[in-house]
């Protein structure tokens, strides 16, 4: 069945997630089970507001998280003051996040990504994984809402998304489109889903982004990554902890989906770019991420990978890079080469 198109122009899809599976994520502490990097999440949410709600400032933000927070005795008292406040217009965009330190542990320990719901451990792990990733989704939605962004959490499983042998087969985006048309910002996440051949698996945030990009054709896609112990700014020619690791500034994608490094010129072109994959990662690691990004770029949609909470991420989110990549911008641009 042909998907309906949104009536609004989709400016961007923003991915909040890990770059190197051993070394941190944009909004969680990767090596600490179910731990959110509160400072990073707040900064990223603020930058997203600045980029996509042009008329907003920290002073005129209308907070949309009215739930009782830990340590508070009452719900917010400013609600009655909002009756006559105009709602700030925001550009249409979508947020997708990975699991970070949420979900990966539960999925890998139970083998959810390999399937087999008939086994008690897998079924329990499926439930545990979804509890974990949906709890992270809620916290991200709340953070965005506190910045006045009308965010709505959406789970692929609940929307009927499913796979066949880990390849996406069903992905109804009708509710995503309806949310955008109504002025909301959908926030999706990597999820445990049903699989017609192996009963269940993990659907990565990167696969979700590729499908959304193909259907909704955003102007560009931004991957925001971070690291608390390393100054990781994008994709490197080898694990960034190794001496001499070089930041790849630009990757060109060809018609057949293959890709090559354009900038900088690597000294040893015979040595392939190396990526690490953590033992607990169930979604394919960095190789999968670059492959998914290349598939998006092949659609003619630029992909920018840069560090969250920096001037570089501000430029990427604002669309400043569409006119060309300045020399002082640090990150990795992935583009289609015609």
324 C-beta neighbours (distance < 10 Å), count:
8
Q: pLDDT value at position 280?
A: 41
In a domain, 287, yes or no: yes
Are 237 and 268 in contact by the 8 Å Cβ rule? The answer is no
In a domain, 284, yes or no: yes
**Strand, helix or coil at 202?**
strand
Pairwise CA distance, residues 333 & 267, whole Å: 20
Query: 174-181 and 205-216 helices cross at what angle (nearest 10)?
Result: 70
In a domain, 5, yes or no: no
Are 335 and 323 in contact by the 8 Å Cβ rule? The answer is no
Q: Is 104 known to sit in a ligand binding site? A: yes
Q: Is 294 known to sit in a ligand binding site? A: no
In a domain, 12, yes or no: no
Q: Is 289 known to sit in a ligand binding site? A: yes
* Cα–Cα–Cα angle for 5, 9, 10, rounded to 5 degrees: 85
Q: pLDDT value at position 275?
A: 44
Q: pLDDT value at position 88?
A: 61
CATH of residue 254's domain is: 3.40.1160.10
Pairwise CA distance, residues 233 & 20, whole Å: 11
Q: pLDDT value at position 70?
A: 64
Q: pLDDT value at position 193?
A: 97
Q: Is 160 known to sit in a ligand binding site? A: no
Determine whether 86 is exposed, middle or buried from the number of CB atoms within 10 Å of its CB (0-12, 13-18, 19+).
exposed
Q: Is 189 known to sit in a ligand binding site? A: no
Q: Is 231 known to sit in a ligand binding site? A: yes
In a domain, 59, yes or no: no
Per the structure, the count of domains in the chain is 1
In a domain, 316, yes or no: yes
Q: Is 191 known to sit in a ligand binding site? A: no
The torsion region of residue 258 among left (phi > 0), alpha (psi -120 to 50) and beta comes to: beta
Pairwise CA distance, residues 48 & 45, whole Å: 5
Could you list the residue range(s) of the whole structural domain that residue 249 is in?
Answer: 17-53+89-336
DSSP code, position 321: G
In a domain, 165, yes or no: yes
In a domain, 326, yes or no: yes
Q: pLDDT value at position 245?
A: 85
Are 92 and 11 in contact by the 8 Å Cβ rule? The answer is yes
Which DSSP string do the residues of 108-119 spell out, in sequence order? HHHTGGG--TTS
Q: Which residues of the chain have pLDDT under 70?
A: 1-4, 18-25, 30, 70-89, 227-231, 267-289
pLDDT tens for each residue of 61-95: 888 898 877 666 565 555 666 666 666 667 899 99
Determine whether 246 is exposed, middle or buried from the number of CB atoms within 10 Å of its CB (0-12, 13-18, 19+).
middle
């Amino acid at each position: 069945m042909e998907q309906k198109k949104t009536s609004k122009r989709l400016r961007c899809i923003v991915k909040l997630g890990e770059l190197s599976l051993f070394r941190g994520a944009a909004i969680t502490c990767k090596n600490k089970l179910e731990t959110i990097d509160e400072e990073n999440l707040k900064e990223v949410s603020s930058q997203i507001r600045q980029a996509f709600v042009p008329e907003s400032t920290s002073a005129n933000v209308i907070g949309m998280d009215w739930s009782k927070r830990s340590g508070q005795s009452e719900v917010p008292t400013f609600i009655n003051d909002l009756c006559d406040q105009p709602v700030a217009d925001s550009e249409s965009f979508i947020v997708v996040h990975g699991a970070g330190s949420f979900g990966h542990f539960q999925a890998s320990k139970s083998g959810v990504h390999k399937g087999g719901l008939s086994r008690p451990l897998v079924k329990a792990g499926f439930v545990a994984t979804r509890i974990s990733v949906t709890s992270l989704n809620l916290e991200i939605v709340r953070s965005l809402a506190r910045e006045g962004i009308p965010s709505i959490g959406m789970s692929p499983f609940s929307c009927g998304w499913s796979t066949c042998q880990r390849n996406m087969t069903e992905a109804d985006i009708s509710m995503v489109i309806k949310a955008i048309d109504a002025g909301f910002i959908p926030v999706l996440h990597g999820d445990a889903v049903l699989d017609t051949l192996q009963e269940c698996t993990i659907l990565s945030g990167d696969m979700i982004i590729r499908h959304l990009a193909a259907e909704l054709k955003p102007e560009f896609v931004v991957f925001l990554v971070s690291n608390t112990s390393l100054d990781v700014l994008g994709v490197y020619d080898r694990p960034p902890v190794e001496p001499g690791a070089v930041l790849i500034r630009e990757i060109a994608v060809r018609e057949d989906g293959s890709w090559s490094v354009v900038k900088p010129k690597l000294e040893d072109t015979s040595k392939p770019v190396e990526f690490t994959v953590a033992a607990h990662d169930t979604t394919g690691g960095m190789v999968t991420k670059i492959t998914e990004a290349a598939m998006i770029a092949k659609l003619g949609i630029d992909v920018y990978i840069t560090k969250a909470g920096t001037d570089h991420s501000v430029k990427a989110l604002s669309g400043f890079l569409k006119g060309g990549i300045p020399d002082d911008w640090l990150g990795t641009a992935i583009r289609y080469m015609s």
